[in-house]
Amino acid sequence: MSTIELRQLLIEKIQKTDDPDLLEEATRLFDVAVAGPEVYVLSASEKEGIETARQQIKDGECFTHEQANQLVNKWLNR
């Protein structure tokens, strides 16, 4: 099916439906497709925090996955 045929089929289906949830979801999908992905821009303090965390990892100032799980369980009194 060509793009033109698909477009016409979609238009016909949209015109036939009275389902507001379906129409809202279709609108949302088109908004996402047209707008494209939104790029999040980090603030200066966020960039600084990331750099600090990277340096801490390089310096070995971090927990293993198992250690982190144990700390979480301790905090949750498990």
For 13-69, how does the pLDDT look when each residue is reduced to its tens digit (9 = 90+)?
A: 999 999 999 999 999 988 877 776 778 899 999 999 999 999 999 999 999 999 999
Residue 9: HSE in the Cβ half-sphere, 13 Å Cα cutoff: 6
pLDDT at residue 43, rounded to an integer: 96
pLDDT at residue 23, rounded to an integer: 93
pLDDT at residue 36, rounded to an integer: 66
pLDDT at residue 7, rounded to an integer: 92
Nearest alpha carbon to residue 35 among 45, 27, 43: 27
Cα(11)–Cα(4) distance, rounded to whole angstroms? 11
